[in-house]
Structure 1
């Protein structure tokens, strides 16, 4: 299994999702009915998939 760096767009998408999770944790965003932990987990999964898939 070869790992590669994620593309810039995948990194930015993951970063935006992580910032949304952080805002949810501090109750700045309260209208999303999902726990902040799961949103942060989604950001991490997006980043991992970007590292595992070549060109993604």
Structure 2
């Protein structure tokens, strides 16, 4: 059976930053890392979800 736990604060914040960058790149120009975020926006969305999902499944993350 799969034991789920709430993610740690740092895991949640990393996920929040990734999704925030992806959403912000839709509406505004991000100066330094903007071209990279725009180019890989879908992967930022997927990465944020994966980080959050791993944080829920793993107790150490």
After TM superposition, the score normalised by the length of structure 2 is: 0.77
Tell me, which stretches of 5 or more residues in structure 1 are unaligned?
Answer: none
CA radius of gyration, larger in:
2
Tell me, which stretches of 5 or more residues in structure 2 are unaligned?
Answer: none
CA RMSD of aligned residues (A): 1.5
Normalized per residue, the structure richer in helix is 2
Moved over 3 A (4+): none
Q: How many residues align?
A: 56
